Structure 1
Amino acid sequence: MSLFSWLRPASPVVSADLQQRLAKLPALAELSECSLREQRWVVLDLETTGLNMSKDRVLSIGAVVIEDGAIDFSQQFERTLQCRELKLSPSVLIHGLGPTAIAAGSDPAEALLELLEFIGDSPVLAFHAPFDQHMLGRAVKEHLGHKLQHVFLDVADIAPLLCPQAQIREAGLDEWIEWFRLEVFERHNASADALATAELALILFSRARAQQIYSPLQLQQRLSQWKRRQQTHSF
């Protein structure tokens, strides 16, 4: 046994059925040069027990699909995950979820695999995507022993890239909703926030085309260039 093996988390016990389904997940490709409209996008939001990316846990997942240039309401995903380690008094709510809802949630391994099947080989959009990507990757590794490899693009960066006149680069989702005058009737649960992010993304795709950004690959490249410039200017 390695001297440091005790530092590594134990691999999860994954049932044969889940292993077979994991094996059938599609191979992931890089972003393509198809049009932004042709690309199927999955817009994701997570609610977690907190913002500590090393210790906090995923509580709920909401996702919607953008396809053919519109939100496809026939393709939606929503799950609350069981979190037995979370100790809450009956009066405590986290993101509108009480102890009963959390206790009655889906088995995390099953729910996370269903999410991976829902995403397929599509790229993922999220607001503050690095956080969601890290938290989801941790959960997938912990419960399925699987490495999350999807491409994530951050709507929180795409917005100021395409709308510099807003001058609200560090803004949250609420500020961009207000700036674009979007009518959002519900917020601060995973499904509602995923839907709000998807509505924002559709506006941004229109802005992208007006700025001669026509494909997911071009958007990713322009975003990378913009982030490098921002980092240079910050020094």
Structure 2
Amino acid sequence: MFATLSLRLRIFLFFALLALAGGALAAGAMALGWARAEEALPASPFVTAFLVFAFLNTGLVLGIWLLFDENIAKPIDRLSANLRLGAHSGVQTDLDVHGARYLGDLAPAAQALSRTASASVTDMATRIARETERLRVESERLTAVLTEAPVATILLNSKLEIVLYDTQAADVMSSIAHPRLRAPIGDYFDTEVLNKALTRLGEASVEVPVTLRDSSGSQRFDARLKALSNDGYMIFIDSKPAQTRRLAPRPLVFDFDLMNRAEIKDIRDTPLRDLCFVAFDTETTGLSVEKDAIVQIGAVRVLNGRIVDGEVFDSYVNPGRPIPPASTRIHRVTDDHVIGAADITAAGRALHHFARDSVLVAHNAPFDIGLLQKHEKDMGVDWSHPVLDTVLLSAVVFGTTDDHSLDTLCARLSVDLPPDTRHTALGDARATAEALVVLLPILEGKGLRTFGQVVEETQRHGRLLEDLNG
């Protein structure tokens, strides 16, 4: 049981045991002396002496514990957190050798090891950067070619979940809802029509024509359905005149790991890497969940430990009231920005669709999610998603007593947080997502590999912030 406790708590319990043991020994010695006295002696002097000793002994042990905690336990925690940061996320930081000066040669030895590893990581990062640049250029060429083709392309896995879509497909899906990987194709098109087409499919070389329609039936799309040899499907949607306008190039969005995605049965037993995360942030008229309203929402999706480029949610929200100047000075959202914007009901529904079947991630989640939950009835949706809070994740990795503000966390994780995007909904959501991507391998390195294990650990820090997973 004690092995699951933090180092600092175990050390505190050790010193508390010393204080109790000292008091017990003093009580025993005084009781023995009083009992062996030749003449009956009053007990009150012995009791007084014991109380004075117990008070002074407790104060002495407490003082020694404070010194030990500040100069031994805390530096060990910081040292281990920084070593894990470099080992599991490739983020190299200078170790605080001065703060760990009472640990003997441990800190200088750890720093030497960290610098040696950093040199190897830097060399590997250089090679990866060259290869990444080559792949980026090839991806841009492929994107340009697909952008010119008058056909929208969607790749589905055997579960009819989206694995790839191009620019034209993103344009088609955007007319229905925000496009997103791993989404069931039924979130965009009527599955009844699609299932009938699937039953007509024979060999992989056969294409079946199909007229797709959205769930409301207001839009129809001429398409072709083709089976793949690896238990997947391709949908080709012919562009209509309204869709042949010049489209802005955007990334070809795909994740081929989704072709063989394992079925998620119980989210608590699901590995972190198999989950989809939506990191989001809100800007508001003030700091009260009960009294204030949302004026801007931003969100970013994370799949397989990577941010999905091209899948973002960014929307102004009309709060139905003037925005206080004090709030505008922080997030720079004015009344002019929200005129004509969607109200919280429409914006909330759109965000709910964007975050469907995902784990919500926020920095200080009780505030942002509380603002959404108070409008559940109007939205007609249920904000009961599983949640990870980067404040609590920071406490798990770096300890409860450290600073866990978004600025400090990003600086600690070497996550870029540009001043011009700070306190914008999308900018803070992006920073939260990047922090999550760095934190995930560190959590796995600590043995927290499933969602349930992470939640169990974050709930230990409930005095810092409420965990919303119940």
Q: TM-score, normalised by structure 2?
A: 0.40
User: What SS is found at the alignment partner of 1:37?
Assistant: helix
Give 1:69's aligned residue.
Answer: 305
1: CA distance, partners of 2:363 / 2:463: 21
How do residues 91-130 of structure 1 correspond to structure 2 at under 5 angstroms? 95-130=331-366
Give 1:154's aligned residue.
Answer: 389
How do residues 2-21 of structure 1 correspond to structure 2 at under 5 angstroms? none
User: What SS is found at the alignment partner of 1:72?
Assistant: strand
Give 1:209's aligned residue.
Answer: 444
1:179 paired residue among 391, 398, 412: 412
Q: Is the 8 A contact 1:61 1:80 kept in 2?
A: yes
Q: Is the 8 A contact 1:53 1:134 kept in 2?
A: yes
2:271 paired residue among 35, 44, 54: 35
Instruction: Report runs of 4+ in structure 1 exceeding 6 Å deviation.
Output: none
Residues 208 and 98 of structure 1: is their aligned pair in 2 closer, same or farther, counting only changes over 3 Å? same
C-alpha displacement of 1:150: 1.3
C-alpha displacement of 1:112: 1.0
Over the aligned positions, Cα root-mean-square deviation in angstroms equals 2.5
Any stretches of 5+ residues in structure 2 without a counterpart? 1-186, 188-214, 216-264, 466-470
C-alpha displacement of 1:228: 5.3
Q: Is the 8 A contact 2:416 2:431 kept in 1?
A: no
The one-letter code of the counterpart of 2:410 is: I
Bigger Cα displacement from structure 2, 154-163 vs 78-87: 78-87
How do residues 136-151 of structure 1 correspond to structure 2 at under 5 angstroms? 136-141=372-377, 143-151=378-386
Give 2:457's aligned residue.
Answer: 222
Task: Establish whether residue 59 from structure 1 lines up as the match of residue 292 from structure 2.
Answer: no
Give 2:432's aligned residue.
Answer: 197
- Identity between Structure 1 and Structure 2 (%): 26
Task: Establish whether residue 50 from structure 1 lines up as the match of residue 283 from structure 2.
Answer: no
What CA deviation, in whole Å up to 9, does each residue of 1:106-127 have, x standing for no partner? Answer: 2332211111111102111100
Between 1 and 2, higher relative CO (CA 8 Å, sep ≥ 6) is seen in: 1
Q: TM-score, normalised by structure 1?
A: 0.76
2: CA distance, partners of 1:127 / 1:173: 7
C-alpha displacement of 1:96: 1.6
Structure with the largest fraction of helix: 2
Report how many aligned residue pairs link the two structures. 199
C-alpha displacement of 1:40: 0.4
Residues 216 and 130 of structure 1: is their aligned pair in 2 closer, same or farther, counting only changes over 3 Å? same
Q: Is the 8 A contact 2:296 2:316 kept in 1?
A: yes
2: CA distance, partners of 1:121 / 1:87: 33
2: CA distance, partners of 1:179 / 1:47: 24
Give 2:229's aligned residue.
Answer: none
C-alpha displacement of 1:217: 1.7
The one-letter code of the counterpart of 1:84 is: G
2: CA distance, partners of 1:134 / 1:127: 13
User: What SS is found at the alignment partner of 1:105?
Assistant: coil
Give 1:85's aligned residue.
Answer: 321
What CA deviation, in whole Å up to 9, does each residue of 1:45-68 have, x standing for no partner? Answer: 111111111100011111101101
Any stretches of 5+ residues in structure 1 without a counterpart? 1-20
Residues 95 and 30 of structure 1: is their aligned pair in 2 closer, same or farther, counting only changes over 3 Å? farther
Which of structures 1 and 2 has the bigger CA Rg? 2
C-alpha displacement of 1:80: 0.8
The one-letter code of the counterpart of 2:461 is: K
C-alpha displacement of 1:163: 2.0
